[in-house]
Structure 1
Amino acid sequence: MDRCLLLILILVARNGLCQNGESCSKSVVNSCSDCIRSGPDCMWCQKLNFTKAGKQEAARCDTKANLMDRGCEEEEIISPKNNLKVVKEVPLSGSFSEQEPIQLSPQTIKLNLRPGLPHKFSVSFKRVEGYPVDLYYLMDLSNSMKDDLENIKNLGKDLFAALKQITEHAKIGFGAFVDKTVLPYTNTNKEKLQKPCDENDKKCQAAFGYRHVLSMTPSEDEFKEKVTAQFISGNLDSPEGSLDAMMQAAVCGEKIGWRNNSTRLIVLTTDDGFHMAGDGKLAGILEPNDEACHMQNNLYDKSSEMDYPSVGQLVMQLKKNNIQPIFAVTKNVESVYQQLSDMIPKSVVGVLSADSKNVVDLIERAYKSLSSKVTLTHENLPDNVNVVYTPKCDHPESAQDNKGVCNNVPAGKEVSFDITLTADSCMEDTSFTIRPLGIKDTLTVTLSTICECDCKNHTDVSGSEYCNSQGKIQCGICSCKDGYVGQACECSTDEREERAKRASCQKQNNTQECEGRGDCVCGRCRCHTTESGNSYHGDFCECDDENCEKFQNQLCGGHGVCKCGTCKCDVGFEGSACECRKSEEGCRTLNNTVCYGRGKCKCNRCECDVGYQRPNCQKCLGCPDSCQTKMNCIECLGFESGPFEKNCTVACSNISRHLVDQFTISGKECKQKDSKGCWIKFKLEQLIGEDNYMAEIQKQRDCPEPPSVTAIIGGSIAGVAVIGILLLMLLKLLIYMKDMKEWRKFENERKKSKWAEAENPLWQKATTTVSNPTFTGE
């Protein structure tokens, strides 16, 4: 017993838990490079003579456990590993200085990845204390914002004071917008273009789309002077040209005065919605927005020629230029701008009071919200590379697609992110960047893939000796010279020699060589590749791993691998296309059985035995009547008679019986005659399984009474008398019918006779007529 337990423990230690379900899914493998491209668990054994004669070299490609089980030593197994090299790693800065601060580390790395094998590394981020802030105040100057403008003119001091609390290196700029100066957005009457405000407004500036008023300045007085010189303008419709203004503020960096090393904020204040791409068609403007700067004399000069930008265009430019918008809007349009904010990764919405007096407090809270949220993402990621971010901080946000997020991170607090990269396939050398949103710092990742093997040469064996002087050893197999093939380059490709070996490449006599999917080389099939680049495989190239059943347009439902036309499902999935999870919940019956024992549960549905019906195989359609088929057993079990009387226990072992006065079970009620002519009443309830029953049999049979002799004799005499009378009546009927026939004949003859018409000569007419005088005729 102890020896058996020890053996089991050795096998588990070698093959089981440590491999954690490794698998190597491969097609035809002709080299070590083909093997390592098949999957991260595929390894190559370069041991000489590892493959048996006549077998394909694909046997060298398998999991480490399987290779070692077949005798390959660990030092002979080739399995390239991922390699990371840190090229540039400048430490994080503690506080802001005039030199460029470092907030993300490392800055440059090189990664060499094996396809399918994930690699994890860490990056660190620390927001520098006192980092410069550039705030561009972009204000709606339509007529409805008149009160707000007057308040902003008086809030400059408070705004600068709030920024100074954040950083000593703060600058502020100012811009204004209304809408395009064309119909139907603006009244194009010449007088109205010059003065689009109400008649009561004495100070009103001409209609405009977007105007840049003040470039970034640290001067409070300059800000107050420029803003004080601004007046209300106007337009016709409610939505404004907000997106036009934001796009120009984002792409005209030199004119706005954005600094390279700063947190860039756009504060947009408005009380109305915004026009977007496509709205320009109402004014006959068909040219799409080109996302370029068009500023002449501080005015957007393409406002009337170019359509509004789309939200996607704006998002891309804001991200590209590291700009974070703060939407300070009134309550009536909060939901509109909240939807816009949801599409812009680093943005926030705040509700303005009716006169914008709370704008300073709103900006301060919005900045804290934006700056304390660290969002790590990437740009220019190759299509076949996957990235997963795992935040390592006090307040991580739940996993998001292509992002890692840490919330409530104070300035000076260092946080880190674990980044897991996986290359799905071989690819050319490329690079992409990882960066925190709204921050200039980036991590450049130069990526390459390991798709070739670096094998050790077997110095103790020469290529001439092992490869018959016709090749050299590469990764344990022979690389043959032109004109020779085979495991040891033992076969010539001479046509006469090759013809004799072609028979071994035919699956059956007179079939096509290698099923038409490969070439017969040295008596063995060398399989072609499929259209998608994979290979056929099998001794006769009869298999491919692409033509399995699909579910939801995915091969094997995305939950299995295709093996020679058949889906091999992952653990927990089943079905011909691995389309469903393994479960018996839908097959359970009221008595907690699976399909009543009369079928199998597949894909959470019963597949019933022949005759039994879904959903749970309880009823059988077309099955023999159980009342009749079980009658002989009922007779012997209940009354010890009938055909099974002598072997009742054996023949009827599948029926449990109870003699009762009244039925108590549910099931089929039957009434059948037994071998003695008695009526037996019984009930059959089918139990679990196909031929398993419980029977309740009424104790008393209904047998017929014996016949009465007197009744039989009396009945016989009465029967004879009745028959005699019937015969006499029949005879009388026949005689009557004969007489009627003779009478009709006589009548017919009489009608045919003709009598002569003559008067009686003896008859004389009266000569005297006497009348009674008293006769009155009455």
Structure 2
Amino acid sequence: QSPGDATVTPPGGQGWDASVVTVRFPLHKLDLKGGVGSVVTQTCPSGELMPDGGAESGTRPASPSGHAEGAEADYANGAAGDPRTGTALRRPGGRAPGRHPEEALVCADEEELNNGPLELVASRAQQDMLCQRPQLLLLGSLLALRSVLSQECTKYRVSTCRDCVESGPGCAWCQKLNFTGQGEPDSTRCDTREQLLSKGCAADDIIDPRSHATTQEDQVGGQKQLSPQKVTLYLRPGQAAVFNVTFQRAKGYPIDLYYLMDLSYSMLDDLINVKKLGGDLLRALNEITESGRIGFGSFVDKTVLPFVNTHPEKLRNPCPNKEKECQAPFAFRHVLKLTDNSNQFQTEVGKQLISGNLDAPEGGLDAMMQVAACPEEIGWRNVTRLLVFATDDGFHFAGDGKLGAILTPNDGRCHLEDNMYKSSNEFDYPSVGQLAHKLAESNIQPIFAVTKRMVATYEKLTEIIPKSAVGELSDDSSNVVQLIKNAYNKLSSRVFLDHNTLPDTLKVTYDSFCSNGVSKVDQPRGDCDGVQINVPITFQVKVTATECIQEQSFVIRALGFTDTVTVRVLPQCKCRCRDASRDHSLCGGRGSMECGVCRCDAGYMGKNCECQTQGRSSQELEGSCRKDNGSIICSGLGDCICGQCVCHTSDVPNKKIYGQFCECDNVNCERYDGQVCGGESERGGQTNLWSLSRPCGGRGLCFCGTCRCHDGHEGSACQCLKSTKGCLNLDGVECSGRGWCRCNVCQCDPGYQPPLCLECPGCPAPCARYANCAECLKFDQGPFAKNCSAACGETKLLPKPLPGRTCKERDSEGCWMTYTLLQREGRDRYDVHVNDTRECVKGPNIAAIVGSTVAGVVLVGILLLGIWKVLTHLSDLREYKRFEKEKLKSQWNNDNPLFKSATTTVMNPKFA
């Protein structure tokens, strides 16, 4: 609760159980666009209303835009009115003189609330529910008020009234002449209504077009179940237009019922019963409506493997019992067009024969798609359409056709030839979503009459297909008549309100207020269950555009019913300003006034068209107002006038924008304690003249993003008192000369450690650099011996050792000297203490080293030769022994093959 906001009090100091409460609010803040929120309206002047004289006070109705008519409100621009209080209701049939022609109003006490038929201003169907619960009424009203009062205006680069309207639903435009001051941009004219009023803009100078709805056609009664029939909406971006749609279920509404039956062999006994029940089906329809028609169709499956047996003999008679007369399998056959002749129905159904297939699932979705896609062939009228789907098994769906090499997706079109679906083997089964869309498009409500084991499966299917029902079918379909009656009552007692597909720029939501007291808010579609005949229910429709749209239309329908609401949508983005006369004198004779802003003629520019371009293009002039090619004009914080930036004045108190390109201001600096450049100075916590004279609160000034601190303060945000007390070492040197003091804390050079920058653990010791000075100062020798005082003037020789860095380096004579370096203030400043003794090591005997080396090399060579000789001898000995061994094994022939003996012996055969 705050000044100007709504307050709620019980009347006469009564407790909260009172039947009437009072809601007070400023009328100019009330921006309720009809609907539930408008139950909070204003108290009627005494004796103003009601020919029945039953009320002591009356109420003023809310206009379609949500503003009260009696407050002299400008409907198009949403002008303000006077504060009033109360609770408004109306009684249909009466009319208050001088008031809204469609409303007859009374201010109700407790008795009238209970007697009815009263209704809230926004919605007559909600009276019973809300009047019985005043706390709920009050809560809904306050929530609606809170939503309105919390609207803000977020603007960016606004220069025209249309830009302002498109910036957001909370923005309004002031068309008052000379409303902006020197340096103020035209965007100052765009703000919330409250801000513009506070800045001195009169209510009749405020342009604030609102979204609203206008009823074009509204016929009630007869066979019209949905009203109104035509509505025109004027939509402002981001602001919803609200209107009510009433559905009243008519008694005896005409019905078309198409019975689609599975004729696979397992449905044999069901077919026999359906043949007997044909007359009963139509009689059951006539109990519900005076105009009922019935049709019949049947299905099996696609006639390709693996769905049916394609053997020629099986195609002729697919039944397992060859003696049984069966018909060939088929996808879908339309047997009987919708008719009111029960005898014809019974005759045609009586001619049907059972068929058969192979797999368990059937081609039912194929058949349903054709029933929905062929309205002329089926004979559908523009009435309630029921499709009874009777089967005892599941169904094939999209993708199953690939098993039979059918790859073309279902096109959702009618393909009946001679009442047969002959293209079944060319198109795949439809998907469930595709079928659901087609059924909804054709306003067909399916009733799945299935056996007990399939109920769960088809209940899942009804979750996807809207306005569908499932009934448990007995094994022989004997209960099909009662099943259809129950399913119809279930379907017709539930109403879904939905719309066709819309572009992304339009959003539609529904609030459902059902006759059973159930309410649903901000739903993607309306939904009420338990709807009774001749009992109206109300849906509140909210349509919002995200941007200025083109003229378009869409249709709202109650699923399963033929009634529709045609909604025509028009943009509400234009500003109707008074200065349409284009008086050139207001702009120096060089332009015309549009909504309080000058639109200059060619060759002129400026707030009052005072700048002549002198042949330069606007791009050239704007180029001199840019910091670089990638920046925006005047940093977005000024106007380019004749090639120079004129910076805007800021809405932020004490903020100044300046600079050549308006790139600087005096507030965008670092903050300390929530204040620019340190906030207020600590002087007893009170503001004085000293602090007021300093825009940054006494600590510093903000200059183009940088704080310039006053004496006594320092830091990036002037957050510190200027002092070095905490930065002095024992010798009084600030940060030991190895850093700087900021905010009384040492900022040490890299490597040195706070708090006083005394040590640098990670820094390398400069031992080698001070070795010559140590030798010179201590032993008076080395490279610096002749000019030791000049070369090592800043280095002192300490008589006593002190803590420091110990070094060990070799001097010019090759001796090791040990010394300690003690760092003084600053960087690279050391004193040295050198030990008195050095470690001098005698040089080695070169001759002995060389001789022993040579001797060693010779001895090693001789040893290696000896080893080589021994190894060679052993190898030769082993080879010789092997030769001897082979020699002993050889056998030599003693005869010389070339030798010829001198003796020849001849044998006489007789004496042999």
TM-score of the superposed pair, with normalisation by structure 1? 0.62
Q: Structure 2 unaligned runs (5+)? A: 8-24, 30-144, 648-656, 669-912
Output one character per residue of 1:165-217: Cα deviation in whole Å (capped at 9) or x when no partner: 11121111111111001011010000000100012552211111111111112
Q: Residue 59 of structure 1 is aligned with which of 172, 188, 194?
A: 188
Instruction: Tell me which amino acid in the other structure corresponds to 1:444.
Output: T
Note closer, same or farther for the CA distance 1:525–1:249 as it changes in structure 2 (3 Å cut). farther
Please report how far the alpha carbon of residue 42 of structure 1 lies from its aligned counterpart in structure 2 after TM superposition: 0.4
Alpha carbons 1:498, 1:521 under 8 Å: kept: no
The reply to whether residue 205 of structure 1 matches residue 334 of structure 2 is no
Note closer, same or farther for the CA distance 1:538–1:68 as it changes in structure 2 (3 Å cut). farther
Instruction: Tell me which amino acid in the other structure corresponds to 2:552.
Output: T
Between the aligned partners of 2:401 and 2:433, the Cα distance in structure 1 is: 17
Output one character per residue of 1:673-729: Cα deviation in whole Å (capped at 9) or x when no partner: xxxxxxxxxxxxxxxxxxxxxxxxxxxxxxxxxxxxxxxxxxxxxxxxxxxxxxxxx
Please report how far the alpha carbon of residue 337 of structure 1 lies from its aligned counterpart in structure 2 after TM superposition: 1.4
Alpha carbons 1:397, 1:404 under 8 Å: kept: no
Instruction: Tell me which amino acid in the other structure corresponds to 1:161.
Output: R
Please report how far the alpha carbon of residue 412 of structure 1 lies from its aligned counterpart in structure 2 after TM superposition: 2.3
Please report how far the alpha carbon of residue 7 of structure 1 lies from its aligned counterpart in structure 2 after TM superposition: 12
Instruction: Tell me which amino acid in the other structure corresponds to 2:608.
Output: A
Alpha carbons 2:635, 2:662 under 8 Å: kept: yes
Instruction: Tell me which amino acid in the other structure corresponds to 2:229.
Output: Q
Note closer, same or farther for the CA distance 1:15–1:162 as it changes in structure 2 (3 Å cut). closer
Paired residue for 1:382? Answer: 503
Please report how far the alpha carbon of residue 33 of structure 1 lies from its aligned counterpart in structure 2 after TM superposition: 0.9
Between the aligned partners of 1:364 and 1:353, the Cα distance in structure 2 is: 15
Paired residue for 2:575? Answer: 453
Between the aligned partners of 1:188 and 1:84, the Cα distance in structure 2 is: 62
Paired residue for 1:490? Answer: 610
Please report how far the alpha carbon of residue 495 of structure 1 lies from its aligned counterpart in structure 2 after TM superposition: 6.8
Alpha carbons 2:256, 2:338 under 8 Å: kept: yes
The reply to whether residue 300 of structure 1 matches residue 421 of structure 2 is yes
Paired residue for 2:494? Answer: 373
Between the aligned partners of 1:193 and 1:331, the Cα distance in structure 2 is: 30
Instruction: Give the SS at the match of 1:37.
Output: helix
Alpha carbons 1:378, 1:402 under 8 Å: kept: no
Instruction: Tell me which amino acid in the other structure corresponds to 1:275.
Output: H
Q: How does 1:88-103 map to 2 (within 5 A)?
A: 88-93=217-222, 101-103=223-225
Q: Residue 39 of structure 1 is aligned with which of 143, 160, 168?
A: 168
Paired residue for 1:357? Answer: 478
Instruction: Give the SS at the match of 2:430.
Output: coil
Q: Residue 473 of structure 1 is aligned with which of 582, 593, 617?
A: 593
Instruction: Tell me which amino acid in the other structure corresponds to 2:299.
Output: F
Instruction: Tell me which amino acid in the other structure corresponds to 1:63.
Output: T
Alpha carbons 2:603, 2:615 under 8 Å: kept: no
Alpha carbons 1:14, 1:65 under 8 Å: kept: no
Paired residue for 1:748? Answer: none
Please report how far the alpha carbon of residue 235 of structure 1 lies from its aligned counterpart in structure 2 after TM superposition: 0.5
Paired residue for 1:682? Answer: none
Instruction: Tell me which amino acid in the other structure corresponds to 2:330.
Output: F
Q: How does 1:732-771 map to 2 (within 5 A)?
A: none
Please report how far the alpha carbon of residue 277 of structure 1 lies from its aligned counterpart in structure 2 after TM superposition: 1.2
The reply to whether residue 24 of structure 1 matches residue 153 of structure 2 is yes
Between the aligned partners of 1:26 and 1:538, the Cα distance in structure 2 is: 22
Output one character per residue of 1:724-746: Cα deviation in whole Å (capped at 9) or x when no partner: xxxxxxxxxxxxxxxxxxxxxxx
Paired residue for 1:76? Answer: 205
Alpha carbons 2:212, 2:242 under 8 Å: kept: no
Give the paired residue count: 520
Please report how far the alpha carbon of residue 158 of structure 1 lies from its aligned counterpart in structure 2 after TM superposition: 2.7
Between the aligned partners of 1:476 and 1:206, the Cα distance in structure 2 is: 82
Note closer, same or farther for the CA distance 1:519–1:296 as it changes in structure 2 (3 Å cut). same
Paired residue for 1:120? Answer: 242
Between the aligned partners of 2:632 and 2:401, the Cα distance in structure 1 is: 66
Please report how far the alpha carbon of residue 231 of structure 1 lies from its aligned counterpart in structure 2 after TM superposition: 1.7
Instruction: Tell me which amino acid in the other structure corresponds to 1:167.
Output: T
Q: How does 1:567-582 map to 2 (within 5 A)?
A: none
Please report how far the alpha carbon of residue 242 of structure 1 lies from its aligned counterpart in structure 2 after TM superposition: 0.5
The reply to whether residue 140 of structure 1 matches residue 262 of structure 2 is yes
The reply to whether residue 408 of structure 1 matches residue 552 of structure 2 is no
Instruction: Give the SS at the match of 1:303.
Output: coil
Paired residue for 2:435? Answer: 314
Between the aligned partners of 1:223 and 1:501, the Cα distance in structure 2 is: 85
Structure number with the bigger relative contact order (C-alpha 8 A, sep ≥ 6) is 1
Alpha carbons 2:218, 2:227 under 8 Å: kept: yes
Instruction: Give the SS at the match of 2:589.
Output: coil
Instruction: Tell me which amino acid in the other structure corresponds to 1:69.
Output: S
Alpha carbons 2:452, 2:472 under 8 Å: kept: yes
Alpha carbons 1:92, 1:105 under 8 Å: kept: no
Between the aligned partners of 1:338 and 1:331, the Cα distance in structure 2 is: 11
Note closer, same or farther for the CA distance 1:38–1:140 as it changes in structure 2 (3 Å cut). same
Does 73-82 or 427-436 show the bigger shift? 73-82
Alpha carbons 2:512, 2:520 under 8 Å: kept: no
Paired residue for 1:270? Answer: 391
Q: Residue 131 of structure 1 is aligned with which of 247, 253, 259?
A: 253
Paired residue for 1:111? Answer: 233
Note closer, same or farther for the CA distance 1:502–1:226 as it changes in structure 2 (3 Å cut). closer
Q: Residue 277 of structure 2 is aligned with which of 139, 155, 158?
A: 155
Please report how far the alpha carbon of residue 334 of structure 1 lies from its aligned counterpart in structure 2 after TM superposition: 1.8
Between the aligned partners of 1:8 and 1:26, the Cα distance in structure 2 is: 24
Does 152-161 or 115-124 show the bigger shift? 152-161
Q: Structure 1 unaligned runs (5+)? A: 94-100, 528-536, 544-563, 565-778
Alpha carbons 1:493, 1:521 under 8 Å: kept: no
Alpha carbons 1:397, 1:405 under 8 Å: kept: no
Note closer, same or farther for the CA distance 1:15–1:429 as it changes in structure 2 (3 Å cut). closer
Note closer, same or farther for the CA distance 1:501–1:154 as it changes in structure 2 (3 Å cut). closer
Between the aligned partners of 1:9 and 1:370, the Cα distance in structure 2 is: 44
TM-score of the superposed pair, with normalisation by structure 2? 0.53
Alpha carbons 1:181, 1:208 under 8 Å: kept: yes
Does 142-151 or 432-441 show the bigger shift? 142-151
Instruction: Tell me which amino acid in the other structure corresponds to 1:337.
Output: Y
Q: How does 1:313-332 map to 2 (within 5 A)?
A: 313-332=434-453
Instruction: Tell me which amino acid in the other structure corresponds to 2:381.
Output: R
Alpha carbons 1:92, 1:104 under 8 Å: kept: no
Output one character per residue of 1:540-593: Cα deviation in whole Å (capped at 9) or x when no partner: 6989xxxxxxxxxxxxxxxxxxxx9xxxxxxxxxxxxxxxxxxxxxxxxxxxxx
Between the aligned partners of 2:482 and 2:544, the Cα distance in structure 1 is: 45
The reply to whether residue 345 of structure 1 matches residue 466 of structure 2 is yes
Please report how far the alpha carbon of residue 160 of structure 1 lies from its aligned counterpart in structure 2 after TM superposition: 2.5
Alpha carbons 1:134, 1:170 under 8 Å: kept: yes
Output one character per residue of 1:269-298: Cα deviation in whole Å (capped at 9) or x when no partner: 111111111111111111221211111222
Between the aligned partners of 1:254 and 1:6, the Cα distance in structure 2 is: 67
Alpha carbons 2:185, 2:638 under 8 Å: kept: no
Between the aligned partners of 2:6 and 2:498, the Cα distance in structure 1 is: 46
Q: How does 1:665-680 map to 2 (within 5 A)?
A: none
Please report how far the alpha carbon of residue 258 of structure 1 lies from its aligned counterpart in structure 2 after TM superposition: 1.2
Alpha carbons 1:492, 1:498 under 8 Å: kept: no
Alpha carbons 1:88, 1:109 under 8 Å: kept: yes
Output one character per residue of 1:617-669: Cα deviation in whole Å (capped at 9) or x when no partner: xxxxxxxxxxxxxxxxxxxxxxxxxxxxxxxxxxxxxxxxxxxxxxxxxxxxx
Alpha carbons 2:169, 2:237 under 8 Å: kept: yes
Q: Residue 512 of structure 2 is aligned with which of 379, 382, 391?
A: 391
Please report how far the alpha carbon of residue 504 of structure 1 lies from its aligned counterpart in structure 2 after TM superposition: 8.8
Alpha carbons 1:162, 1:360 under 8 Å: kept: yes
Please report how far the alpha carbon of residue 252 of structure 1 lies from its aligned counterpart in structure 2 after TM superposition: 1.4
Instruction: Give the SS at the match of 2:515.
Output: coil
Between the aligned partners of 1:127 and 1:104, the Cα distance in structure 2 is: 8
Between the aligned partners of 2:486 and 2:6, the Cα distance in structure 1 is: 62
Instruction: Give the SS at the match of 1:80.
Output: coil
Note closer, same or farther for the CA distance 1:498–1:265 as it changes in structure 2 (3 Å cut). closer
Q: Residue 219 of structure 1 is aligned with which of 341, 344, 355?
A: 341
Instruction: Tell me which amino acid in the other structure corresponds to 2:612.
Output: S
Please report how far the alpha carbon of residue 136 of structure 1 lies from its aligned counterpart in structure 2 after TM superposition: 0.8
Instruction: Tell me which amino acid in the other structure corresponds to 2:268.
Output: K
Does 470-479 or 395-404 show the bigger shift? 395-404
Paired residue for 2:358? Answer: 236
